[in-house]
Structure 1
Amino acid sequence: MLRVLFVCLGNICRSPTADGVFRSMVASAGLSDQVQVDSAGTAAWHIGKTPDPRTIKAADERGYDLSLLRARQALAADFDQFDYVLAMDLENLSNLRALKPAAARTDPQLFLRSFARRFNIDEVPDPYYGGADGFEQVLDLVEDACEGLLADIRQRLNQRSKEAP
């Protein structure tokens, strides 16, 4: 099982969008039994809350269901439980690096920089204080990077199957 954690600040806009998009892509690829997806925030403001209604609406319009997601805060233990810890922006990458235990097995990465194929930017901008177009932009960026992430995971899974006895 490979485990993926998407992280933004409050876990109500960007990271739940990535969670829903990637979960859908994993299911469509027939990999749900091999890939676990989750999301978290580096701040504790929204723990237990659903994603922002604008996030839910934008995702729903593209066929992604975020209704079951609930915000949680990133934990130090996540760095040993997840194979990918993916920050939406540089601030949250810094927050994750500060949270990561020295001996943890996983290092946080910047999501777009690591996996985007069509877009040449490092950060998924926070749409919280903007209009509907910001949520659409987040979906565009996330869909692109999730495609790259899925390709990376397929490669890892294929490598594991070749190494298995």
Structure 2
Amino acid sequence: MRVLFVCLGNICRSPLAEGVVRARLAKAGIDHIELDSAGCGDWHVGQPPDRRTMAVAKARGIDLSALRARQVRVEDFHDFDLILCADRSNLAHLRRMAPPDARATVALLRDWAEGGDAGLEVPDPYSGGQEGFESVHDMLEAAAEAIVARLTSRPAGGG
């Protein structure tokens, strides 16, 4: 099973989602699920996550320092089983970009969370203050539990 998290620039929401879900998988001793993150835009390609993203993650025991931003590629629709988008704008962009023979399921990230999160977006904290990054981390932590539960209930390599 391979999962790609996507946001606009791949320096705030998607690397944090990757880190939070990776930490949950490690805590559960699950190593058959591969994770990555990417952005719809190319502005930050090669850069580490935003310093505020890294600070929030580090404060909660998650190290994002090895991550570097990359842009979504057409090959991702064949290389991944599931692509989870932070918001509807990213979701619409990926649905337009997807080749007709895409293997990946493309969905809104919070649609994979339990409870009343279906249809909700992960807001972009980039233009705001540190509290926005804290709030996004809390959302992603809540979603990660349900995402990991759903991913681990499916067979490895399943799509």
TM-score normalized by the length of structure 2: 0.94
Cα distance in 2 between the residues matched to 1:36 and 1:121: 25
Residue 155 of structure 1: how far off its partner (Å): 0.7
Specify whether residues 108 and 119 from structure 1 end up closer, same or farther in structure 2 by C-alpha distance, changes over 3 A only: closer
Cα distance in 2 between the residues matched to 1:132 and 1:121: 25
Residue 120 of structure 1: how far off its partner (Å): 5.9
Structure with higher Rg: it is 1
Match of 2:27 in 1: 28
Match of 2:4 in 1: 5
Could you tell me the percent identity over the aligned residues? 48
Q: What are the ranges of 5 or more consecutive residues in structure 2 without an aligned counterpart?
A: none
SS in 1 for 2:4: strand
SS in 2 for 1:148: helix
SS in 1 for 2:2: strand
Residue 128 of structure 1: how far off its partner (Å): 0.3
Higher relative contact order (CA 8 A, sep 6+): 2
Equivalent of 2:74 in 70, 73, 76: 76
- Correspondence 1:11-160 to 2 at 5 A: 11-32=10-31, 34-117=32-115, 119=117, 122-157=120-155
C-alpha distance after superposition, 1:40-81 (max 9, x if no partner) = 000000000000000000111111110000000011111111
Cα distance in 2 between the residues matched to 1:139 and 1:105: 29
- Mapped contact 1:5–1:39 kept (Cα < 8 A): yes
Cα distance in 2 between the residues matched to 1:36 and 1:84: 11
Q: Which amino acid counterpart does residue 110 of structure 2 have in structure 1? A: L
Cα distance in 2 between the residues matched to 1:72 and 1:148: 26
Q: Which amino acid counterpart does residue 65 of structure 2 have in structure 1? A: S
Cα distance in 2 between the residues matched to 1:114 and 1:28: 20
Q: What are the ranges of 5 or more consecutive residues in structure 1 without an aligned counterpart?
A: 161-165
